[in-house]
Structure 1
Amino acid sequence: MRNWATKKLGELFRIKHGYAFKGKYFSDRGAFIVLTPGNFFDAGGFKHKGEKEKYYTGPIPDGYVLGKGSLIVAMTEQAEGLLGSAAFVPADNKYLHNQRLGRVVDLDEGSLDKRFLYYLFNTPIVRDQIRATANGAKVRHTSPARIYDVEVELPALPIQRHIASILSAYDKLMENNTRRIEILEEMARRLYEEWFVQFRFPGHEGAKLESLAVGDIAEVIRGRSYRSKELVTQGGFPFVNLKCVNRDGGFRRDGLKRYDGKFKPDQVVYHGDIVMAVTDMTQDRRIVARAAMVPDLGADGGIISMDLVKILPRPNISKEFLYSLLRWSDFSENVKNHANGANVLHLHPDHIRSHAIQVPPEKPRTEFSELVKPIFDLCESLEKKNANLRAQRDLLLPKLVSGEIDVSSIVAPEEREVA
């Protein structure tokens, strides 16, 4: 590698462990948020958890309130792919440094740019070395000493900064799109709650609600059992699996795989179909019983795995209304408690079918669907832009930080280029 220096990470910075904050002071509100591995995206970056954040009301030792721009690393992996993920803290005097996270301190800024280090952490070059030395059978752990042993190749500091600026441009565009999606989903959620939780839809006076089971308004269809050899890198069909369901619901395009095996016609999903997780690899129950709406996967659709069910609305029930009910009513919070299993949680589809719901009249359901459909369409368009940006960034990331391609030939993206 031309003029690039071989270094171990331990020569360039130290990792400070977090503090074991006491559970008795955890709260659902407060001035400080305790960060956890759940605040990281698998591919890197800070993840806001909204209503799921853990607040802390107890005494805080000196040195554990994080500053804006602090670089933190996930030292524990409760979900596959998270170990070694890095993120920047987005605000001052708000976030607490928890024991399962490491903070980069004493960085040799004359040798290593902090933003470049962030991208290094989120490449296979570093992640694979961290995973290779991690311990723990179910929950994987790493340590500062193991991270110090990771070996990397570093270009000169100006090149590091140039690489980081290009990759940051992709991230900023994706962050802007993600904020727009969050605002749009919040609009749809608030409308659903106003109309069908508070029951203040137009004409609600005197309207009668019908008590039904989910199985009365939708068909619940189990996905396909598969073998690992049926998963392929090319050909076959898009395979909608557990990784396609976000924590707390919504679809993850980056979780898609390819499947080349047998399936039944009713295990095919198309654009706008609703799927739900009936398995959860973690014990926090933030994936099981959560719904996602399938994006456009092409004319042939995709196949769903056995860890999901397809929820097909019956006549006179729109997909938009049913999806909103499954996402934003108390459905998930109640049904998830029926999932059981020592290591992996499983939910029987009968618990979905039998769950009781209050169904409003057809007129407000139709009016609601007409209002939220454009919102859902715009969200999907923004998700598609992000998928394109992410694919471009992920293609560039390992090549730039390894020196495989010359950074001088790369131009930062602009909004119009990915519209």
Structure 2
Amino acid sequence: MLTKRKIGDFVRIKHGFPFLGEHFTDEGKYIVLTPGNFFEAGGFKHTPGKEKYYDAAFPEEYLCSEGDLIVAMTQQAEGLLGSTAIVPESGTFLHNQRIGLISWDETLSEKMYIYYLFMTDLVRQQIRRTASGSKVKHTSPERIYDVAVWIPDDIKIQKRISRTLENIDHKISLNKAINAELENTAKLLYDYWFIQFEFPDENGKPYRSSGGPMEYNTQLKREIPKGWDVRTLGRVLKEIESGKRPVGGALQSGIPSIGAENIESLGVHDFRKEKYISQDFFSNMRKGVVKSGDVLLYKDGAYSGKASMALDGFPHQNCAVNEHVFILRTNNDLPSQFFLYLFLKRPENYNKLNAIASSKAAQPGLNQDQLNSVNVPIPPRELILLFDRTISPMMHKIASCANQSKYLNVLRDFLLPLLMNGQVTVPMAEVEQAPVATAEQSETTS
């Protein structure tokens, strides 16, 4: 049975501490939480390289503990207001004044049910409607207390609902961890073979440490294995394409049109920023249609040079790129899209492309001539093909996990309102047999 209540009937929200900006530093022990630590859809967001540390004294009560439930009370980005997250560890994160720390009446509700309750449109819309501020929206504990919701009287039912959603999020989190490990392994193998030059020689032993001959290359200004070639990207790319969007801009539905804002890496894609073109426009595109195995390169903007890859229907079975993304396809001189992708993912190569893009215009951007001029060390064809065969299972597994997580995100978002409003129920036995999940590990951007 569902009962109508105000959130204030079973929740209390504590304001954070006004940490002084003069004591913010770029490194330290304590990280000040901000709305940037929330995903819009919910979940804790780590921000490596963007953290604000605090080097002054503060009241101990504002040092967060693992498992704390927090809510964003300032809309730093569209849709962020009212997002909830679980603090992932103790003794690191500081509860700042733009964040609310949630406590609850354990006789009326439970933590993870509240976590997911705040993800529903019913709650988010009421929070947005009562927010103050014209450009940057703010809410307060009192405004949140006034939000009306329907919740089960039985705590066991609340736990069954939250456990069902947690298990989906747990699998998404597990897939993300698997993919991170697989990509890291692929990068390490690329480094071992083509940076340290310890690829297997004709006897199956590491080339360089087994005395394989090296020679100095004047273009790269370093030694490379004897017999290797150095070519420009222009000589090893069969196709460099960009797409476009129609006059009047992107649509809200249709065929996905990938822009620079979507580019992350293989198996990672920001679906929240997706834009679309019509089926007719897509059907008439001569260039810019994405194929499985395409390397996608961010060509215009602050992160010019960032690379991703489309593979096995991820991020979409049918999609295109806009004019701010290059599609790169290699020719027979470099018979591996995976080699190209991992070459571009090397930090020094990203930095080189980003520096080229930023060197002339006020708005960073890469053109084809600049891209074509970048030097690439080219191993013998047989070695490239061996490397491709070796890492291919890893790369396809990444795509498989990413596709599964994409489906699970859709499933969770479909089930969330139905479970919360009682249209769908979960038998107790099914939840009791499900694996234990940790929603604090969940990051809902897939």
Task: Tell me: CA distance 1:144–1:188, structure 2 relative to 1, closer, same or farther (3 Å).
Answer: farther
Q: Deviations over 1:78-108 (max 9, x none)?
A: 544444322111222233334553322x423
**1:8-407 to 2 correspondences below 5 Å:** 8-9=7-8, 12-20=11-19, 22=21, 26-27=25-26, 31-49=29-47, 52=49, 54=51, 56=53, 58-61=55-58, 62-98=60-96, 100-104=98-102, 106-134=103-131, 141-156=138-153, 157-202=155-200, 203=207, 205-206=214-215, 207=225, 213-218=232-237, 219-226=239-246, 231=251, 233=253, 236-242=254-260, 244-246=262-264, 251-252=268-269, 254-255=271-272, 258-260=276-278, 261-263=280-282, 264-278=285-299, 285=302, 288-297=304-313, 301-317=318-334, 318-336=336-354, 338=357, 347-350=365-368, 353=371, 356-363=374-381, 364-407=383-426
* CA displacement at 1:67 relative to structure 2: 0.4
1:243-285 Cα offsets, whole Å, 9 max, x none, are 5433x775327455553142422211011212233456xxxx5
**Contact 1:41–1:47, Cα closer than 8 Å, also in 2:** yes
SS in 2 for 1:159: helix
Amino acid at match of 2:348: D
Distance, in Å, in 1 between the alignment partners of 2:145 and 2:46 is 28
2: CA distance between counterparts of 1:292 and 1:12?
42
Which letter maps to 1:304? V
Distance 1:357 1:130, change over 3 A: farther
Mark the CA change 1:125 to 1:148 in structure 2 (over 3 Å): closer, same or farther. Answer: same
Shift of the 355–36 alpha-carbon distance from structure 1 to 2, 3 Å rule, reads: farther
Q: How far off its partner does 1:44 sit?
A: 1.8
Deviates more, 1:319-328 or 1:194-203: 194-203
Distance 2:4 2:10 in 1: 12
Counterparts in 2 of 1:194 and 1:144: CA distance versus 1, 3 Å: farther
> What TM-score results when the alignment is normalised by the length of structure 1?
0.79
Are the aligned partners of 2:268 and 2:402 in contact in 1 as well (CA < 8 Å)? no
> CA–CA distance in 2 between the matches of 1:10 and 1:345?
51
Secondary structure of the equivalent of 2:65? coil
Q: 1:53-87 CA deviation, whole Å, 9 max, x = no partner?
A: 63737235122321010112234445444443221
1:104-152 CA-to-partner distances (Å, cap 9, x unmatched) read: 2x42333232111110122222223334455667765544454344332
Q: Secondary structure at the match of 1:316?
A: coil
Q: Partner of 2:443 in structure 1?
A: none
Give the C-alpha shift of residue 191 in structure 1: 2.3
Per-residue CA deviation, residues 21-48 of structure 1 (Å, 9 max, x unaligned), is 65765345x5444444444333222234
Computing the radius of gyration from Cα coordinates, the structure with the larger value is: 2
- Is 1:27–1:56's contact at 8 Å kept on the other side of the alignment? yes
* C-alpha displacement of 1:3: 3.8
Q: CA deviation at 1:153?
A: 2.2
Distance 1:57 1:78, change over 3 A: closer
User: Comparing 298-307 with 161-170, which one deviates more in the overlay?
Assistant: 298-307
Q: Which amino acid aligns with 2:371?
A: R
Structure 2 unaligned blocks of 5 or more: 201-206, 209-213, 216-224, 436-446
Q: CA deviation at 1:375?
A: 0.9
The residue identity in structure 1 corresponding to 2:393 is P
2:5 corresponds to which letter in structure 1?
Answer: T
Whole-angstrom CA distance in 2 between matches of 1:94 and 1:169: 27
SS state at 1:269 partner: coil
Inter-CA distance 300–112: structure 2 relative to 1 (3 Å threshold) = closer
Query: Residues 169 and 188 from structure 1, CA distance in 2 versus in 1: closer, same or farther, beyond 3 angstroms?
Result: same
Instruction: Using the TM superposition, give the Cα deviation of residue 309 of structure 1 relative to its aligned residue in structure 2, in angstroms.
Output: 2.5
Q: Is the 8 A contact 1:116 1:164 kept in 2?
A: yes
Alpha carbons of structure 1 residues 215 and 7: separation in structure 2 relative to 1, 3 Å = farther
Distance 2:338 2:259 in 1: 21
Distance 1:23 1:345, change over 3 A: farther
Q: Secondary structure at the match of 1:52?
A: coil
**Larger RCO: 1 or 2 (CA < 8 Å, sep 6+):** 2
The match for 2:3 is: 4
Instruction: Write the distance in 2 (CA, Å) between the matches of 1:39 and 1:20.
Output: 16
**Whole-angstrom CA distance in 1 between matches of 2:72 and 2:370:** 34
Greater Cα offset, 194-203 or 344-353: 344-353
1:99–1:184 Cα change, 3 Å:
farther
Q: Where does the alignment leave 5 or more consecutive residues of structure 1 unmatched? A: none
In the TM superposition, residue 289 of structure 1 has moved relative to its aligned partner by 3.4
Over 3 Å counting, the alpha-carbon distance change for 1:396 and 1:24 in structure 2 is same
SS in 1 for 2:62: coil
In the alignment, is the contact (CA less than 8 A) between 1:12 and 1:111 conserved in 2?
A: no
- TM-score under structure 2 normalisation? 0.75
